[in-house]
Chain A
């Protein structure tokens, strides 16, 4: 890097793209704590800050707990904050992440998806971020390196939006995206600033402006009615976020960045490939979508790759899938019920998704998922009579 952020076409890894995106978002502070496979994001930001290429205040912190606590301070004091982590680190943040969400602090965390122990594994697995699916956190998932960069910008914009003010996770698969270089286009700093101006903090949740007369007591106890209203407002905030994403994609993103980086299809909530008129749709999330795309090339199957998981785009998905008879879901996560998490999300909304849902799980602990495996497993499962009762473990020879 020679004094300024790069701009235009480049070949970058997911971690480098995330770091650049943070650089473009220009947070007031960034907290660093290393963990494989997200470490390079932190290293890059540390260097950008040290060389004054960005004016972010960078701090080497002593744990992910310190990182999220530091972020709570920066964000409460009206600043923009970012950090990057993975698996164990995200899990360690749990208490304070819940606090940050219910205190309505729009912190953005890049989470490189990695297995959450035990046993130790550094391979991709979405169980880490999906562990937080019941928190009021926005969650974005990336299919390729370009999306890593773009979703960090979306995350700040949506998280800081009026009526939202919630933290956001930008998730991308360890190694498959974090360490894989791809061609991407880096937007100019000016355009990013147009899309993502300086944060305007919500006056309800932050320290008052300097010189404000009335002192505040932030997050102190209150009566049950106010407490309950605040809980409800979290649900409203999630719904507002859903509307804001639609608006953002339809208008501003496309207007500002033009044709090069388009997400208009399905209002940006998910991407599509294959035959969208097919009776059968395959849903996945993250980098695996590319493999599934290759596996089913030429087959009569529609493919959907979720980009926004929280808020869950149930309505948009319903509209897309309403004509389908069979839905095949691939999850890189597993629940105590024996289901993958996306399968569970669909099955819990039977009014919207009454179809037969075939759940696949796999790719854990470094399992290499090939195109051949996918096609074989999908075809085998499609001939099964009882999809609801089964979760198909890919590569399970038993």
Chain B
């Protein structure tokens, strides 16, 4: 599926309450548009529901029972999205509509890396028939940018005011260890658009547990301009800070950036990295880890 085949916009009512420049809002509009088109196999699927754990979407997706996304939405507690989505998909299957219906869980990094990780692991290990989207803005965004397991080392949050001390959890390896049918990380940016569309369409087309890991620019949390999402998305990929990975049937593929840029190019636009940028030793340590991670993924690609 090519980006030009899809008209985006019909799925995001202008009354939505997400912030200006929100990467997740844009990604949502694109994802819903893509999965509503005929998929690579020729099949068209109907979205049975999008399940939201506690997140910006809990307050941004509608009011008084009305959906601003044009599809059924089910709000649930922070920890529960994966298993709730599994329950819904079981009913589609039991009613004989497993092939034509799609249940999506759209969960943030706090929900996926931290509080809901146990249940995410369970649903993945059972190969629950859902599309699980990790909408990763690297912080607890809805509560005002606190540190999560996805926050990169050195990034400032309201609960790590001098930059995160601990590590960023390696969600790619964690999900890979579950041997799920499909995992892909994707970024919505001009240079990665085709990659994004292909991955979303592939994931929607398959059955079983599919996981999409989307990097979502969060202007208030990242302390970056509201029009910076496309550019920052592109830089996250070209600096190798957010490697574009696809794992299908156990085989890992990396989307290599055409031209690798220095890590600082991504960091310098964001207020959250100001401490890190002024501490050379710490910055070098972070850069080294990014390099090592890329080498690790490249080795896996050779297998």
- Residues on A facing B (Cβ under 8 Å): 28-29, 57, 59-63, 65-67, 69-79, 81, 95-96, 99, 207-208, 210, 215-223, 226
Q: Which of B55-109 contact A (CB under 8 A)?
A: 58-59, 61-77, 79-80, 82-95, 97, 101
Name 17 extra pairs, CB < 8 A, besides A216-B67, A222-B63. A59-B126, A61-B83, A65-B80, A69-B119, A70-B86, A72-B76, A72-B84, A73-B74, A73-B85, A76-B88, A96-B77, A99-B76, A210-B101, A217-B68, A218-B65, A218-B72, A218-B74
Residue B49 is within 8 A (CB to CB) of chain A in the complex: yes
Assess the B122–A73 pair: CB atoms within 8 A. Answer: no
> Given the complex, which residues of B lie within 8 Å of A76, measured CB to CB?
49, 74, 84, 87-88
How far is A223 from B62 in the complex, measured between Cα atoms in Å?
12
B118 interfacial contact with A, CB 8 Å: yes
A74, B86: Cα distance in complex, Å: 8
Question: Given the complex, which residues of A lie within 8 Å of B101, measured CB to CB?
Answer: 210
A39 CB, nearest partner CB in chain B, Å: 18
Q: Given A29, A57, A61, A218, which contacts B73 in the complex, CB threshold below 8 Å? A: A218
Residues of B within 8 A of A71 (CB): 87
Query: Does residue B36 face the partner (Cβ distance < 8 Å to A)?
Result: no
Residues of B within 8 A of A61 (CB): 83, 122
Residue B248 is within 8 A (CB to CB) of chain A in the complex: no
Contact A215 B71 (CB under 8 A): yes
Closest to B97 in A: A210
| A215 and B88 in contact, given A61-B83, A63-B118, A76-B74 (Cβ under 8 angstroms) | no
CB distance from B54 to the nearest CB of A (A): 11
Identity of the chain A residue whose Cβ is nearest the Cβ of B94 in the assembled complex: A28
- Complex partner residue of A95 from B63, B79, B118, CB under 8 angstroms: B79
Instruction: Give complex CA distance A207, B49 in Å.
Output: 8
Q: Mark B259-278, 1 if CB is under 8 A from A, else 0.
A: 00000000000000000000
CB<8 Å pairs between A and B, sample of 28:
A57-B90, A62-B118, A63-B118, A63-B119, A66-B118, A66-B119, A66-B123, A69-B76, A69-B84, A69-B119, A70-B87, A72-B76, A72-B87, A73-B87, A73-B90, A74-B91, A79-B90, A79-B94, A210-B101, A215-B67, A216-B72, A217-B61, A217-B73, A217-B75, A219-B75, A219-B76, A223-B64, A226-B64
Contact B62 A62 (CB under 8 A): no
- Whether the pair A28, B90 counts as a contact (CB closer than 8 A) is yes
Q: Is the CB of B91 within 8 A of A78?
A: yes
Interface of B is mostly: mixed
Contacts A28-B91, A72-B87, A215-B67 given: A65-B73 contact, CB under 8 Å? no
Distance of A279 from chain B, by nearest CB (Å): 50
Q: Is the CB of A220 within 8 A of B80?
A: no
Which residue of A is nearest B89, CB measured?
A73
Q: Which residues of A contact B58 (CB under 8 A)?
A: 220-221
Give Cα distance in the complex from A215 to B94, angstroms: 21
B125 within 8 A of partner (CB): yes
A282 to chain B, nearest CB (A): 42
The answer for the CA separation of A154 and B97 in the assembled complex, in Å, is: 31
Which partner residue on chain A sits nearest B57 by CB separation? Answer: A220
The residue in chain A whose Cβ has the minimal distance to the Cβ of B62 is: A217
Contact B59 A221 (CB under 8 A): yes
Report the separation of the CA atoms of residues A208 and B121 in the bound assembly, to the nearest whole angstrom. 29
B94: chain A residues at CB < 8 Å are: 28-29, 57, 79
Across the two chains, which residue of chain B brings its CB closest to A72? Answer: B84
Q: Is B37 an interface residue (CB 8 A)?
A: no
Flag if A73 contacts B125 (CB, 8 Å).
Answer: no
